[in-house]
Amino acid sequence: MIQIKDLHKSYQMGKNSLHVLKGINFEVEEGELVSIMGSSGSGKSTLLNILGILDEADLGTYTLDNTLIKNLSEKVAAQYRNKFLGFIFQSFNLINYKSALDNVSLPLYYQGVNRKERFERSMYYLEKVGLADWSGHLPSELSGGQKQRVAIARALASDPKVLLADEPTGALDTKTSYEVMELIQKINDEGKTILIVTHEPDIAEMTKRIVNLKDGLIIDDTRIEPKRASLYV
Amino acid sequence: MFNIERWQEIFETISKNKLRTALTGLSVSSGIFILIILLGVAEGLRKGTKKQFEKDIPTKLYFGGRFTGKEYKGLNPNRKIRLNLEDYQNINKQFEDDLQYRTANIKRYGAQTSYKDKNGVYILFGVMPDHMQLENAYLIAGRFLSEKDLETRAKVVVLGTRIIADIFGGDHKKAIGKFLTINEIKYTVIGVTEDNGGEREDTYMFTPHSTMTHLYNSPNNAGSFQFTVNPEEDYDIALAKADKFGELVVDNLKKAHNIHPEDDKAINFFNALEGGKDIYMVNVGMKIFFWGIGILTLLSGIVGVSNIMIIIVKERTKEIGIRKALGAQPKSIVSMILHESIFITTLFGFIGLFLALGILEFLGPKIETDFIISPTVDFNVAISTVIMLVFAGAFAGYLPARRASKIKPIIALRDE
């Protein structure tokens, strides 16, 4: 599903060049649930931005679902993001003046799906995350866990190939974190490829594979037997 | 342009951000409102001053004889030209249909005037009945000269108020019917006039033109002529007509008196209407001035909207970042912001427009001053402001929209 070869990325910080990714090689098969770990400054967020086509690598190749991601115009990048990827953020990033249902249906709006079908499909995903009854509520009326579940429903709405989650439990307490992880595992069980950036070991242990990043290089890549979050809830 | 989904999106955004929308709208509405009111007042002012000036300066034309400036047909230059009654009658005959008021006017300075023991020195005029209308004078007592006075060369006189004050102690009624001696000839006082022109005009005495020429034995000197042409609605048409009339009369007079066709000194021709040109130009200047102020007001409204849109874009940076991460293309961001901006400016612009038009419509006719008459804005002006509005909306929204489309999702979504 994802192939990355010799990926380099530098940022220009004034006169100094900051080499963030120093040659990453990495593959993800369909249906995997991968966690990317590392301390801050290890380059994990940069890697996620590149995977999410929000940023572009300086060197190396990135292939997503057999499509080479290189030198894309903003327009095509937007199309690919919409088609291939679903994002889940630490701070949820819901649009605060839109209801849960409207938030979930936003990716479908940008796909040009008509209003009726948009709401039907969005309702389906809201049901899936257990928030059908909350569809008319604004984000400000939801708890943190509920917001993240709305965000997950939104990420799923466009039926993407890969879900990218950046510290999805970073803003949540432990119990709620496990609830969210339970949902993510459930989605993965249905075959969706999911990448999670996290620095919490207990969250990483709930994934099938832990990739450890340090100073812009992968220092460890281990497949594990995931702990089921449902056991802790 | 017309995409129901996008309109739904815009309505949703607008209705969820009522305060923001209201503030933006207020600045546009008030801009347009002020523009339309200003233009309406300017139009009222234009009509008002036009009417004022038309009242003060009728289409009056003056012809008089002077000294020739050029030798012609063996006649020496510097010859005095005296207009005579025949000239006057010829003009009347030729332009019968165009003339409104007419008079020949001969005057005599230093007329010794006395009644009983009171006396004074005034200016005696020989004029025709239309003189009163031509000078914008009005009667205080008695009557003015009549056609019959003219025919019978009656020895009657109409006096200015100043003379009544000097000689009859200010009692107008008492003066009527009295015999006044002017240069040792007795005249019956038949009326008293007052002139708006000033105090000097109130020391004038008017006697029939025929009486004057007969008594002073100058049948070949009719003095100067004054005419008004029939009034026209439009200033330019009136001016053109008066100019043409004046030119023809001057040409005829030149022929009749053997004056060189290019001698401009011999005949004194003055078109009072031309003085009105200045006032007309003032009107044009005023219109430009009001448009200028109006457009600057609107411009500040547009800058205001643009400013608000920039703030909105800033405020919505995160939202736009989210939208882009979810697959919104730059084009759709630009059109979202532009749409919103144009929609808001147009909607609130129309509100301001109709409010202002309504006020002009209902309050306009109630304004009764001499200088502002029924302030209105015509249809074309309303249409051009509407077109201006749409452009204003587009202009106000464009820069912020472009800025919005350049927002990088990773920067927008970076957690603080």
Read off the pLDDT of residues A144-170 as tens digits, 9 standing for 90 and up.
Answer: 999 999 999 999 998 999 999 988 998
Taking a C-beta distance cutoff of 8 angstroms, is the pair A108, A121 a contact? yes
What is the C-alpha to C-alpha distance for residues B180 and B158, in angstroms, rounded to an integer?
11
- Of A135-144, B23-32, B160-169, the range with the highest mean pLDDT is A135-144
Rounded mean pLDDT of chain B?
Answer: 82
Distance CA B370, CA B375 (A): 12
Could you tell me if B327 lies within 8 Å of chain A, comparing CB atoms?
A: yes
| B72 strand-pairing partners | B75
pLDDT of the residue at B370:
67
> What are B62-96's pLDDT values in tens digits?
899 889 888 888 888 888 888 888 899 888 888 88
Domain ranges of chain B: 4-52+280-414, 60-276
Report the pLDDT value the prediction gives residue B241, as an integer from 0 to 100. Answer: 82
- CA geometry: angle at A88 spanning A44 and A76, to 5°? 85
* Cα B338 from chain centroid (whole Å): 43
The DSSP string of A29-60 is: -TT-EEEEE--TTSSHHHHHHHHTTSS--SEE
Beta bridge partners of A5: A61
The yes-or-no verdict on residue A125 having pLDDT over 60 is yes
Question: A180 or B97: whose pLDDT is higher?
Answer: A180
Q: Is residue B1 very low, low, confident or very high in pLDDT (cuts 50, 70, 90)? A: very low
Per-residue pLDDT reduced to its tens digit, B89-122 = 888 888 888 888 899 999 888 889 999 888 899 9
- Of B8, B16, B410, Cβ closest to residue A54: B410
Asked whether the predicted pLDDT for residue A133 surpasses 60, the reply is yes
Q: B410–A110: do the CB atoms touch at under 8 Å?
A: no
Q: Which residues of A touch B (CB under 8 A)?
A: 49, 52, 54-55, 74-75, 78-79, 81-83, 87, 89-91, 93-95, 97-98, 102, 106-107, 109-112, 114-115, 154, 158
Phi then psi dihedrals of residue A7, to 5 deg? -85, 125
More confident residue, B374 or A44: A44
Which chain B residues are closer than 8 Å to A54 by Cβ?
A: 325, 408-410, 413
Which chain B residue shows the shortest CA-CA distance from A170? B415
Q: What is the pLDDT of residue A68?
A: 92
Please state, in angstroms and rounded to a whole number, the distance separating the CA atoms of residues B416 and B411. Answer: 10
Task: Report the C-alpha gap between B106 and B209 in whole angstroms.
Answer: 7
B58, B145, B127, B135: which is closest to B88 by C-alpha?
Answer: B127
Q: Regarding predicted confidence, which is higher, B382 or A75?
A: A75
Residue in chain A lying closest to B333 (CA): A110
Query: Can you say whether the dihedral through the CA atoms of B306, B307, B311, B317 is positive or negative?
Result: positive
Q: How far apart are CA A153 and CA A162, in angstroms?
A: 14
Burial B65-78 (b: 16+ CB within 10 A, else e): beebbbebeeeeee
Across the strands, what pairs with A12? A17
B296-326 per-position pLDDT tens digit: 877 777 777 778 778 878 888 888 888 888 8
Counting beta carbons within 10 angstroms of the beta carbon of residue B298, is it exposed (0 to 12), middle (13 to 18) or buried (19 or more)? Answer: buried
Q: What percent of chain A has pLDDT over 70?
A: 100
Whether B55 has a pLDDT exceeding 70, the answer reads no
Nearest-angstrom CA–CA distance, A220 and A226: 17
Task: Please report, for chain A, the start and end positions of each structural domain, with discontinuous segments joined by +.
Answer: 30-57+74-231
Q: Which of B171-180, B219-228, B383-392 has the lowest mean pLDDT?
A: B383-392
- Is there a contact between B415 and A91 if contact means CB atoms under 8 Å apart? yes
Query: What confidence score (pLDDT) does residue B359 get?
Result: 87
Residues of A in contact with B321 (CB under 8 A): 93
What is the chain B residue with the closest CA to A95? B319
Q: Which of A7-16, A180-189, B111-120, B308-317 has the lowest mean pLDDT?
A: B308-317
CA–CA distance, A213 with B153 (Å, rounded to integer): 126
In chain A, the percentage of residues whose pLDDT exceeds 90 is 66
Are A115 and B8 a contacting pair at CB < 8 A? Answer: yes
B393: left (phi over 0), alpha (psi -120 to 50) or beta: alpha
Q: Do B322 and A75 touch (CB under 8 A)?
A: no
ipTM given for this complex? 0.89
Read off the pLDDT band of B127 (50, 70, 90): very high
The β-bridge relationship of strands A162-166 and A85-88 is: parallel
Per-residue pLDDT, A192: 93
pLDDT-derived band of residue A115, with 50, 70 and 90 as boundaries?
confident
Residue of A nearest to B12 (CA): A98
For residue A134, the 8-state DSSP code is G
pLDDT of residue A41: 81
CATH number for the domain formed by residue range(s) A30-57+74-231: 3.40.50.300
Locate B45 and state its tokens: 């002012």
